[in-house]
Amino acid sequence: MNPELSLQAFADLLDTYGSDFRCWPAEEAEAAEALCQTSVEARAQYDEARALEALFRRDAMQPIDQARMTAILNGALTEIAAKPRRRAIFGFGGFSFDWGWLFTRPVGAALAASLVAGWILGSVAPDAASWRSASVPAVTALLGLGDGGGIL
Amino acid sequence: MTGQVVDRAIEQGDAVLMRQVAEGSEAAFRLVAQRHLPRMLRLASKTLGGSSSAGDAEDVVQEALVRLWQHAGNWQPQRGALSTWLYTVVYRLCVDRLRLKPTVALDEAIEVADSQPHALDTMMRAGEFKALDTAIAALQPRQRAALTLFYYEEMSGPEAASVLGLGLRAFWSLLHRARQAVHEEMKSVLRQQAISQSKGSMS
């Protein structure tokens, strides 16, 4: 038995894991069962916890109006009929792309677009050294600060 | 038949039906919807709480069903139960709806005892379920969803945490606060019931 388990700790654990000691961490469960056998207050807290769970269960068993559910289902079917599934824009070899996420996930679409753009730029741009050597004189020439080093 | 076996049978049925839904079968869609609709509606009603009308919960479930149809082909049974996926959609739609309501702050703690009529008084007027509804409605939306998934839908902690997009520790903490608040609000009612229960078990 864990002698550290106070009534307050017991109440906190009841509110976290519920009254089924099988769901508790093993050590605390053992201490709690022992506490329930020796403490009237602990037993009362335990009974209250069980009463709360019984209330949840009874509430969960309340029937839901069938007409309400039918109305929801019919509403969904009407909407589905008016808004057909998005089709793939193109496909090949039995594999088609679903582009719907481009519209539902704009951040993901922006990231994907920037990655593709970066890849294309990286493929078509000249190597970094020649790019750098050409760009500095070109900029100074455009600003009227030099002759462009023969580039322009 | 144990509950787990029943759940597995339902999941297997869901997988077959969802393939048919993806192929455009309205009959399969109706079956899937009828199977999951009551639980989806309960989660939506509880999560939206007393500040929303019954129509809001119905709109959320209807939208979730439309998404079920639209994305049936994307659902993969090996990645999780259909119910978990549907609960996640319903929960997110509820959160979106609550964000649109300026009077409801998603992460704002609500003082239960001071702002609500006392649960016992409510119970005297309209019964224990009404009192329970009032107590649950006074919680934060995330707390309401945690309580509903764990106690009403009997999901495990890890499953409910994944629906809410939380770590397990954060989920237990959320559930603890939710239950504590409801317990506090319902104390008088529960004490009476606990006494009558223990009298019943003694006699």
**Which of the 8 DSSP states describes residue A96?**
E
- Angle, alpha carbons B169-B154-B176 (nearest 5°): 35
Q: What is the mean pLDDT of residues B30-37?
A: 94
CA atoms within 13 A on the CB side of A145: 6
Hunting for tokens 């970066």 — which residue is that?
A118
- Assess contact for B61 and B42: CB atoms under 8 A: no
Predicted local confidence at residue B33, as pLDDT = 95
Contact list, B74 vs chain A (CB under 8 Å): 98
**Contact: B65, A73; criterion CB under 8 Å:** yes
- On average, the pLDDT of chain A sits at 76
Contact list, A53 vs chain B (CB under 8 Å): 151
- On average, the pLDDT of chain B sits at 81
Asked if residue B147 has pLDDT above 90, the reply is: yes
Predicted local confidence at residue A90, as pLDDT = 46
A63: pLDDT confidence band, cut at 50, 70 and 90?
confident
Predicted local confidence at residue A96, as pLDDT = 44
Asked if residue A143 has pLDDT above 90, the reply is: no
Predicted local confidence at residue A80, as pLDDT = 92
Predicted local confidence at residue A86, as pLDDT = 61
CA distance A26 to A28: 6
Q: What tokens does B37 get?
A: 């609709």
Q: What is the mean pLDDT of residues A50-75?
A: 90
* ipTM attached to this prediction: 0.75
User: Which position has the higher pLDDT, B103 or A44?
Assistant: A44
A98: pLDDT confidence band, cut at 50, 70 and 90?
low
**Contact: A73, B34; criterion CB under 8 Å:** yes
CA distance B91 to A98: 25
Predicted local confidence at residue A35, as pLDDT = 92
Q: What is the mean pLDDT of residues A35-44?
A: 92
Instruction: Write down the pTM of the prediction.
Output: 0.67
Q: What is the mean pLDDT of residues A89-93?
A: 43
Residue A55: strand pairing partners? none
Is A113 touching B (CB cutoff 8 A)?
no
Contact list, B147 vs chain A (CB under 8 Å): 56
Give the B window 79-118 contacts with A, CB below 8 Å: none
Q: Ramachandran region of residue B54, left (φ > 0), alpha (ψ -120 to 50) or beta? A: alpha
Q: What is the mean pLDDT of residues A82-86?
A: 74
Asked if residue A14 has pLDDT above 70, the reply is: yes
Is B158 touching A (CB cutoff 8 A)?
no
Q: What is the mean pLDDT of residues A57-62?
A: 87
